[in-house]
Structure 1
Amino acid sequence: MYVIPEKRGMGVGRQLMEELIRRAREAEGIEQINLTVVSDNHPAKQLYQSIGFQTFGVERNALKFEGQSFDEEWMVLRL
Structure 2
Amino acid sequence: MDIKIRKLQPDESNSYRELRLQCLKNYPMHFTSNYLDEQAKEKLFFQTNIEQSNPNNFVIGAFLKNTLVGISGFNRYDRTKIEHKGRIIQAYVNPDYQGQQIGFNLIKSTIDEAFKINDIEQIEIDVITSNTNAEKLYKKIGFTEYGIQKNFMKVNDAYYDHKMMMLFKNQYKT
Is TM-score (shorter-chain normalized) higher than 0.5? yes
How far apart, CA to CA, are the structure 2 residues paired with 1:11 and 1:41? 17
Q: Which has the larger radius of gyration?
A: 2
Match of 2:143 in 1: 53
Q: Which amino acid aligns with 2:96?
A: E
- Give the alignment's TM-score, normalised by structure 2: 0.44
The answer to whether 1:64 aligns with 2:145 is: no
- Per-residue deviation at 1:40? 1.6
Q: Which amino acid aligns with 1:52?
A: G
Q: Indicate the percent of aligned positions where both proteins have the same amino acid.
A: 33
Structure 2 unaligned residues grouped into runs of 5+ = 1-90, 170-174
Match of 2:113 in 1: 23
How far apart, CA to CA, are the structure 2 residues paired with 1:5 and 1:69? 24
Structure 1 unaligned residues grouped into runs of 5+ = none
How far apart, CA to CA, are the structure 2 residues paired with 1:63 and 1:12? 27
How far apart, CA to CA, are the structure 2 residues paired with 1:52 and 1:33? 11
Q: Secondary structure at the match of 1:9?
A: coil
Q: Secondary structure at the match of 2:93?
A: coil
The answer to whether 1:34 aligns with 2:121 is: no
- Per-residue deviation at 1:66? 2.1
How far apart, CA to CA, are the structure 1 residues paired with 2:128 and 2:100? 21
Query: Aligned residue pairs: how many?
Result: 79
How far apart, CA to CA, are the structure 1 residues paired with 2:153 and 2:97? 25
How far apart, CA to CA, are the structure 1 residues paired with 2:117 and 2:125? 18
Instruction: State the structure with bigger RCO (CA 8 A, min sep 6), 1 or 2.
Output: 1
Cα deviation code 1:12-71 (max 9, x no counterpart)? 111110111111121111010001101121110010000000000001111111210000
How far apart, CA to CA, are the structure 1 residues paired with 2:137 and 2:114? 18
Match of 2:98 in 1: 8
Runs of 4+ in 1 over 3 A off after TM superposition: none
How far apart, CA to CA, are the structure 1 residues paired with 2:160 and 2:122? 25
